[in-house]
């Protein structure tokens, strides 16, 4: 049973396990520093589909189906699937997963979705509401560019602070089985809006939300950054990561030793022309479900914090002159290996 620890944090029972995961990625991502860790990569980012939205749905479905296959499971073995994405009305998830016949709970946390789906799944598993659950999310460069910015055919210039939406998906299988990788604590984030309005600098908008959640977690658990092997944010990128360190330093929390960001890890920032780094739900999802899970399963990482961050605006809100509310959810994940 989950147990409240401090104001914002939940202690999860010892046996809530991230049993297995699948990270799927597109062409550019497969050519980046983490290329060899992805379970599935695509050289054709259309995935043979006639529209980018259908490509993203296929990507998400592929990740889930591969996860089931890898674990010798069939759809009916899964009690509930938690899924979400960036597209309007979360159509990557709903259309991608509609044929699976698995009870479905759509989650919306923008790029924080991988942490959100795993957090809610952990609580369902811990409480007995589900015996086996899947947490999944995705993003696709071309569907996101078209929806949030400009059609890619337009060839618009990108600003130096802009991040590159990852074409990728991550799916994780959770159960209660005393496995090697367990969820220990969860901190649900609050919406933070520091009035950043630049939709091409989402790292800056999201950094204060990551800082808020990390601060709440450290306070609630009475721990400090050096208690962890790795503190990994979702996709703050170059600008947001620096801001996060600066904000926490002002509160006497020093992240410099063991901090990294999925948006910085997935691409070679200089060589791959991605400006401030990767972003999108699929960024932290594919990095966590491939590279990070493999390190936890091998015992190379023992005790990490995974904090996925989301920018909760829409093109409409930005056109109306609004700022960008943000959120970050945290999981403390341990390896018993």
Q: How far apart are CA 334 and CA 280, in angstroms?
A: 25
| Residue 197 binding a copy of itself, by CB under 8 A | no
Q: Does 94 engage in binding with a copy of itself (CB under 8 A)?
A: yes
Nearer to a copy of itself, 125 or 162 (CB): 125
Residue with tokens 């602070």: 161
Rg (CA), the chain: 18
**In terms of CB distance, is 31 or 79 closer to a copy of itself?**
79
- Exactly one of 72, 128, 250, 256 binds a copy of itself (CB under 8 A); that residue is 128
Segment 21-60, which members bind a copy of itself (CB under 8 A)? 50-51, 53-54
Question: Judged by CB under 8 A, does residue 66 bind a copy of itself?
Answer: no
φ and ψ of 213, to 5 deg = -65, -45
Of positions 34, 68, 120, 162, contacts a copy of itself by CB under 8 A = 120
Shortest distance (Å) from residue 258 CB to a copy of itself = 26
Residue of 199, 35, 179 whose CA lies nearest to 110: 199
Which one, of 1, 11, 17, 23, lies nearest residue 289 by Cα?
23
Q: Are 310 and 86 in contact (CB under 8 A)?
A: no
Q: Is 91 exposed, middle or buried (0-12, 13-18, 19+ CB in 10 A)?
A: middle
The verdict on 91 binding a copy of itself (CB under 8 A) reads yes
* H or E element that contains 259: strand 259-261
What DSSP state is assigned to residue 300? S
Query: Site size for a copy of itself, by CB under 8 A?
Result: 63
Contact pick of 127, 178, 226, 300 for a copy of itself (by CB under 8 A): 127
**Which residues form the interface with a copy of itself (CB under 8 A)?**
1-4, 7-8, 10, 50-51, 53-54, 76, 79-80, 84, 86-91, 94-95, 97-110, 116, 120, 123-124, 126-131, 147, 188-191, 193, 312-317, 320, 322, 325, 327
């Amino acid at each position: 049973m989950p147990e409240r620890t401090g104001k914002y944090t939940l202690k999860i029972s010892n046996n809530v396990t991230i049993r297995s995961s699948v990270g799927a990625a597109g062409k550019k991502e497969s050519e980046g520093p983490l290329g060899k860790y992805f379970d599935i990569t695509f050289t054709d980012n259309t995935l043979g589909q006639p529209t980018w939205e259908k490509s993203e749905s296929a990507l998400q479905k592929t990740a889930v189906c591969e996860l089931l296959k890898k674990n010798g499971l069939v759809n009916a073995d899964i009690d509930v699937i938690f899924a979400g994405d960036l597209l309007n009305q979360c159509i990557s998830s709903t259309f991608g997963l509609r044929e699976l016949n698995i009870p479905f709970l759509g989650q919306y946390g923008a790029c924080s979705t991988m942490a959100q789906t795993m957090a809610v799944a952990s609580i369902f598993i811990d409480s007995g509401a589900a015996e086996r659950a899947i947490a999944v999310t995705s993003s696709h460069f071309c569907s996101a560019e078209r929806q949030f910015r400009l059609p890619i055919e337009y060839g618009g210039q990108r600003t130096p602070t802009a991040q590159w939406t990852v074409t990728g998906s991550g799916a994780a299988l959770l159960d209660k089985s005393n496995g090697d990788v367990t969820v220990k604590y969860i901190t649900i984030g609050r919406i933070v809006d520091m009035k950043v309005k630049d939709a091409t600098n989402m790292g800056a908008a999201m950094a204060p939300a990551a800082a808020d959640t990390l601060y709440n977690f450290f306070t609630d658990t009475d721990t400090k950054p050096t208690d962890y092997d790795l503190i990994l944010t979702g996709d703050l990128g170059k600008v947001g990561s620096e801001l996060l360190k600066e904000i926490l330093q002002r509160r006497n929390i020093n992240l410099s030793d063991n901090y990294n960001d999925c948006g910085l890890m997935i691409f070679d920032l200089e060589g791959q022309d991605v400006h401030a780094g990767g972003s999108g739900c699929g960024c932290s999802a594919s990095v966590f479900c491939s590279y990070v899970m493999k390190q936890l399963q091998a015992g190379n990482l023992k005790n990490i914090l995974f904090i996925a961050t989301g920018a909760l605006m829409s093109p409409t809100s930005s056109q109306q002159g609004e700022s960008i509310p943000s959120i970050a959810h945290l999981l403390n994940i341990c390896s018993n290996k």
